[in-house]
Amino acid sequence: MKSLLSAFLFSMIFLCMNMNAAFSQSSRFSINKFGNDKGDTLNYRQLYPDADTLRKYPLVIFLHGSGERGNDNEAQLKWGVMNFATDQAMMMHPAFVIAPQCPEKMGWANSSRERNSLDIKMLPTPTKPMELLIALIHQMIKTMPIDSNRIYITGLSMGGYGTYDAIERYPNLFAAAVPVCGGGDVSKASTIAHIPIWIFHGAEDPAVNPLLSLQMFEALTKAGAHPALTQYPEVGHFSWLGAYSDPLMMEWLFRQHK
């Protein structure tokens, strides 16, 4: 009985420590809202570097998955983005980080695909959340010490689709991309072949077919690009757990310049 009680107490202490750490990191993200002249708004959280006035900093865009949509301006911090807010990450890779929240019943990518098809076709206009996000990025470039040659974008699941959508629509804006368990329009591969891309996916993902990542990798390679592809064996949809905790990915990302 004593050993069970001790194990329970240890588990509770460990859980509380992790919750406190997560709360501490989430509190580093300011609560913000961006609006345009049409009255449209986009909720977002922002992480600031320990900035001085003598240099410019990279900007990281983090796109959440479908389960974090809403208007609480909190759910988008659930997965992945906290890895950019640890003490070590902020010391080694100081950066501005933007985590926007997509409203319910909307998405980051505007594309068409028949049911169970792997053929994704990007539609002509961006979604409203993507349009607002791009406007926010341009505003930040003008008003904050951001290195416009080091703007990175990453996202998971719905955000992985959004990552492809963003770089295919705005191929001259981003210095690197990390799409996690997503898919894009392979016919646009030649337009993004100049962008360093590291693709992540779980080999047994039941929600997003891993072939979507494989076919994009192949299309980019044929277009003359040199993308990276990490496919985790025996991993389902939660491939982002490995992707965002990979120190090699972080080192690679912050080395990229336009």
- Residue 49 burial (10 A CB sphere; 0-12, 13-18, 19+): middle
H-helix segments, the chain: 2-26, 87-92, 128-143, 158-169, 210-222, 240-243, 247-255
pLDDT per residue as tens digits for the range 211-249: 999 999 999 999 999 999 999 999 999 999 999 999 999
Strand partners, 140: none
In order of their start, the domains of the chain are: 31-255 (3.40.50.1820)
Confidence category of residue 172, pLDDT binned at 50, 70, 90: very high
Lowest-confidence segment of 15-29, 116-130, 135-149 by average pLDDT: 15-29
- Residue 134 burial (10 A CB sphere; 0-12, 13-18, 19+): middle
Higher pLDDT, 14 or 180: 180
Q: Per-residue pLDDT for 5 more than 80? A: no
Supply 230's token pair: 């990490």
What's the pLDDT score for residue 24? 55
